[in-house]
Structure 1
Amino acid sequence: MSTAVTLLSLGGTIFMTEDAAGGARPDDGAGERLLATTGGEVELTALPLANTSSSDVRPHHLRTVLEHARAAVDGGADGVVLTHGTDTLEETAFVLGRYWDREAPLVVTGAMRPASDLGADGPANLRDAVRTAAAPSARELGVLVVFDGHAHLADQVTKASSRSVSAFASTPSGPLAIVEQQDLRLLHRPLPRAALLPGAPPDRFPAVPLLTAGLDEDLSLLDHLPAEELRGLVVAGVGMGHVSPVAMPRLRRVLGAGVPVVVAARTAHGGTSTHHYSYPGSEVDLLAAGAVMSGLLPAPKARLLLQALLADGASADSIRGAFAAFAS
C-alpha cells in the first residue's frame, strides 16, 4: 500500500534562486526541481498556496494552510508538509500547533540557502520532511519542524542562527528525533500536547505589543498606550522574568484596567520563575499584581499564544491555564 503526502507551500528561501548580484529572488520553477529530489519514496501531491517572504506571513495564510491540510488528511493523506521561509517558521509552526487536530503529522520545513546555491539545503530538508510526514512514529505528535536531519516539536523549536544550515534548535529537550529513511529515531518521548484551540486563526490577530525589559528600561512607552486601547501585553523580562521597579506602576495600571499581561524571560534558556525572587519588579511581585508568567515559552511565542487566546474570547482564568501548560 503506497504512502501519500500532501505538500503545501508558502514560499521562502527554499523556492528562491540567487541572481548575478548575489540577491535571492523567488523562482517558480524551483518547486518542480525540488519535488524531483524526494526520490519517489511516497505519492506526493503538491499544492502551492503562496510565494511570500516569511516576514509577510499573516494569520489568514495559516487559516488556508489548516483548511487544505485537514482536507488532505481527511481525504486519505498520511501526512502534510508545509514549506515556509525560515525567519518566522517557528512562529507559524507554533500557531499551527494550537489548532492542528488530526493524528497525522503536519511538518514544516524550509531552507537557509537558495535552490541555486551549490550547498543548497532545501532538497535534503524537503526529503526529510516528506519522510517525517509518512513516519509511523510521527503520528499524534502534532506539528513538527524538520531541518538538517532532525525533527523538532513546534512548541520547543526556535531559530538559533541567521546563517547556519543547522539553524534550528529546541529548548529545553533538544530535537525530538533523527530522521531516517523508514521512520523517526526518537531521542526522547514528548510530554502530552497542550490543549488545542477550536477552528483556525482569524484573518488578523488582535494587536498585542511586545516590550523588552533591560538596563534603564522603565516601559515608559505604556504612558503613550492607553490601557483601554490595549487587548493584551507581553513583556520580555530580564533574568527569570523581571522588570525595573519603576515599571511596576505602569504595569499595575494596565492590569487594573483588565488587560492581560504576560511576562516571558529574555534569556534563551531557563524560562520564567514563580518563586525565586520577591523584590519589587521580580516574578513574585509581578504575579501578585496579576501578571501571567510564560514559563518556557519565549516572548514571540507567548505573544502569539495570547493573541490566539484573545481571538477565541478566552477568560482571564483560561489564559492563565493555557500558559500553565508551559510552566518551567
Structure 2
Amino acid sequence: MVQFRFCIISALLLVFFSAIVSAQSSGTESEDVKPFEFALIGDMPYANADFRKFDRLIKEINADQKLAWVLHAGDIKTGLSPCSDELLRDRLKRFQQFQLPFILTPGDNEWTDCHRFTAGSYHPLERLAYLRKLFYPQPGVSLGQSTMTVTTQSRDAAFSEFVENIRWKKNRVIFATLHIVGSNNGLLPFSARTQADDDEVKRRINAALFWIKQTFTEARESNAHGVFLLFQANPRFELAKGNDKRLGFEEILNLLEQESVEFGKPVMLAHGDSHHFRLDKPLFSSGAGKKHIENVTRVETFGNRDIHWVRVVVDPNSPEVFTVHKQIVEKN
C-alpha cells in the first residue's frame, strides 16, 4: 500500500514539474518570437536645406515607442559636397539626436567619391580611415543616445579594420551590415587612383563574402527565422551577370543567391543609393528557367529630397517574417 501511494505521489509530482517546465519553455519560446519593429532610413541628410526636414523625421522616430533601433543605409551627404572633417562631425552630431540605438553602414558619398574636386580632392582611403574613427569609436557598440552591443567583424584579426561590419540577433532573427558601396563598389576610376585603392576594394569584398557566410552559418545553426542584411549600394540586381556595371558586386550577389537558397527562410536585403522607395524580389535563380528566389525581398529606402522613413515589422511567427510600411513625415 505504501509503495502504491509512493508511486501515485511520484507520478503526480512528475506531472506537476513537467507542467512547470512546459510552461516555462512556452514562455521562453513566446518571448523569443515576440514581434518587434525598427526604423530604416538612408541617403540623408544631403544638404543644408534638408536639415529641418531631417529634424522632423528624428522627432517622429523618437516619439514612436514601438521601435527598437534605427538603421541608416549610408550616404550622409551628396557626392559633390565637401568631405571635410567639419561636415562629417556635423552628421554625427545630428545622428546622435536619435534616442534609440543608431547603426550606420558607410556610403560612397562620404569616402569613395571624395576624390572629386567639389568634394575636396581628398584621397578616399584617408577619408575611410577618418570615417571609421569618427562613426565607430567603440567597436561593437552602436551610436545613438541609447546604445546596444553588437558583434563586429573587427574582432577577427584577419579583418581587424572592418569595425563597420556588424551582426546582432533579436528574437531568433539575424541582422548584419555589409560595407558595400555605390560607384561600382569603389571600382570607378579617378585620376589619383593607385594600386592601394584597388587592393582596398578586393579586401572589402573578401570581408563582405566572409561576413555573409558567417551570418548565414549562424542563422542555420541557431535555427533563425530570418536574416536581414543592410548595405548602401544598389548592386544592380536587374543587370545580367557579367555586366561591367555590376562588376564590383558580382561575387557578393552570387553568394547571396547561394546562401539564401540554402537557408530557405525569409531574407531581406535593405539598401539606399537610388533615392526612391521600392519593395520587390530582386534575385533570380541560376540555370534554365529564370525564376525569382521567393524567400528574398529587397527594400530600398527613401532618400535625397524625400526625407521619410520605412517601418520594418519583424514577426518571427509569420511566414514572411518581415513586413514593410512607408512612413511619410507630414510637412516633409
Q: TM (normalized to structure 1)?
A: 0.29
Q: Between Structure 1 and Structure 2, which shows a larger proportion of helix residues?
A: 2
Q: TM (normalized to structure 2)?
A: 0.29
